[in-house]
Amino acid sequence: MPPLVTPALVIRRADYSDYDRMVTLFTPEHGRLDAVARGCRRPKSPLVNAVEPFVSGEYQLFRRGDRFSIEQCQLRESCFNLREDYSRLVAGVYWLKLIDAGVPRDVPAPELYRTTLEALAHLSYSDLPPAMLTMAYEMHFMALSGYSPRVDACVRCGRAIDGPARFDARLGGAVCASCPSGAPKISEGARRILLKLPRTRFGSVEKLLGHPDWPEAARLFRLYIQDRMQIPPKFLPPLVSADGDPGK
């Protein structure tokens, strides 16, 4: 059987034996794949740098029985800068947890793969706040996975939202003023961010800097993510910095 050559992003790894590791890869055409990297823990192994989280490149895989093994890798990006900043590293680890929890095995996800690499580049090399980039990535991730909340119309009655509304994470979106709800209120500005940001390229996310409603949008969307994805709380990055400034 010929090898499978595919672009891939390492999202998880675990020691498998004295010298091997099990690696979970996110690929554009095959979704998540598990593969063994044999001998990668030896200091002189050519795979020693190819099996770390956040590394992406061109991987050559061979199928042996019911699993793959990594034979070669041509590295393209390591996201080294991300590892040097704790707040960015915490955000990045959370993004990988989203992929691990939400991307099926053997299901193509080329647009999500491209978006993830673009987002990681901004997280690694731009000056945009990690919390703002995380909000943008969460919204893109859910939209490309087919699970965007409905914020253009009421999730109860279906009427277009035109005026005061609430955001019900459990029901999956906005609730108009005519329908009963004990969910948190959502401002018009935050609702528009939830509506437009999933269609905004990461290079344009900086337009939200100084926008008074983006912290509210981030907080409400995090409630939605927690309801849908069940990510353990210890992996959730902060929505605001320790000094209370959103997104540092």
Q: For residue range 157-209, what is the model confidence (pLDDT) as tens digits?
A: 999 999 999 999 999 999 999 999 999 999 999 999 999 999 998 889 999 99
Q: 48, 16 in Cβ contact below 8 A?
A: no
Is there a single domain that holds both residue 44 and residue 106?
Answer: no
- Reply yes or no on whether the pLDDT at 244 is more than 90: no
At residue 232 the predicted structure's pLDDT band, cuts being 50, 70 and 90, is confident
pLDDT for 246 equals 53
Residue 20 belongs to domain with CATH number: 2.40.50.140
Domain assignment present for 127: yes
Quick one: 48 and 112 in the same domain? no
Q: Does 245 reside within a domain?
A: no
Give the integer Cα–Cα distance in Å for 37 and 68. 9
Same domain, residue pair 144 and 155:
yes
124 within a domain of the structure (yes/no): yes
Q: How far apart are CA 130 and CA 91, in angstroms?
A: 6
Mark which of 77, 103, 129 sits at the end of a domain.
Answer: 77
Query: Does residue 30 lie within any of the structural domains?
Result: yes
Q: What is the mean pLDDT of residues 229-243?
A: 77
125 domain-assigned: yes
Regarding whether 139 and 89 lie in a shared domain, the answer is yes
Return the C-alpha torsion angle 235, 122, 211, 153, nearest 10: -70
Residue ranges making up the domain that contains 71? 4-77
User: Does 63 lie in the same domain as 84?
Assistant: no
Instruction: Look at residues 77, 108, 123 and tell me which one is the last residue of a structural domain.
Output: 77
Q: Are residues 39 and 70 in the same domain?
A: yes
Are residue 40 and residue 53 in the same domain, yes or no?
Answer: yes
Give the amino acid at 127: D
Show Cβ contacts of residue 109 under 8 Å, excluding neighbours closer than 6 positions. Answer: 26, 28, 31, 103, 144
| HSE, side-chain direction, 13 A CA sphere, residue 5 | 5
| Same domain, yes or no: 89 and 153 | yes
pLDDT confidence bin for 243, thresholds 50/70/90: very low
d(CA 89, CA 95): 10
Render pLDDT for 89-137 as a digit per residue (tens, 0 to 9).
999 999 999 999 999 998 999 999 999 999 999 999 999 999 999 999 9
CA 107 to chain centre: 17
Distances (CA, A) of 67 to 36, 97, 137, 236, 248: 8, 22, 30, 31, 41
160 and 133 in a single domain? The answer is: yes
> With 70 as the cut, is the pLDDT of residue 245 above it?
no
User: Are 143 and 215 part of one and the same domain?
Assistant: yes
Domain closes at, from 77, 99, 121: 77
Looking at residue 240, its pLDDT comes to 63
Q: Are residues 70 and 119 in the same domain?
A: no
Name the domain count of the chain. 2
pTM above 0.75, yes or no: yes
Question: Which pLDDT does position 241 carry in this prediction?
Answer: 47
> 39 and 97 share a domain?
no
Q: Is residue 244 part of a domain?
A: no
Domain-embedded: residue 242? no
Q: What is the pLDDT of residues 138-168, one digit of tens each?
A: 999 999 999 999 999 999 999 999 999 999 9
